[in-house]
Structure 1
Amino acid sequence: MAVTLLNIGEHLSLEFEPSDLDEVQACIDARYPGRKAMAAGIATVVSFGGETFTYQNEWDDPCLISSSNKGDELLRNIYTELSGD
């Protein structure tokens, strides 16, 4: 699985392949039960672990974008688990 963690402005974005979506969701669900998603225009607002993220999948390039320091920490934890780092 190829995942990347990028700095986007002041926060982080977890980037992955469309074929890895199920594995990313399974990782989130195992670590942070109660994930919720709600469509918001061209994006989806996803909540888990007490934080809110923006999920986008433009041009088959999915990403999960944090909007807080705590969200950045959650994305780092997910990245570490999925990348094997």
Structure 2
Amino acid sequence: MSEKYSTIAAIDIGSNKISMTMAEISPSGKVKFIEDVKISSSIGKDTFNDGRISAGTIYETCEILKKFTLLMKDYGIEKHVAI
């Protein structure tokens, strides 16, 4: 009998990149990584140079998160968290 895996994703919004790791986790805790995606971001550059995040960078970040949402749908991700 095969174990039922849960599909999860973790999104890390960092100062120079936004990354998402998707994985399957079995009831026994076995982890099988599905995909790891990293996209460059200028959040840190804006903060360092201007002390704030520009409207353009906020828009860019939202577009990246929309792409991640589509990937999660494609992979059937059941749970996700962003940090």
Same fold (TM over 0.5): no
Question: Which of structures 1 and 2 has the bigger CA Rg?
Answer: 2
Q: What is the TM-score with the length of structure 1 in the denominator? A: 0.30
Q: What is the TM-score with the length of structure 2 in the denominator? A: 0.30
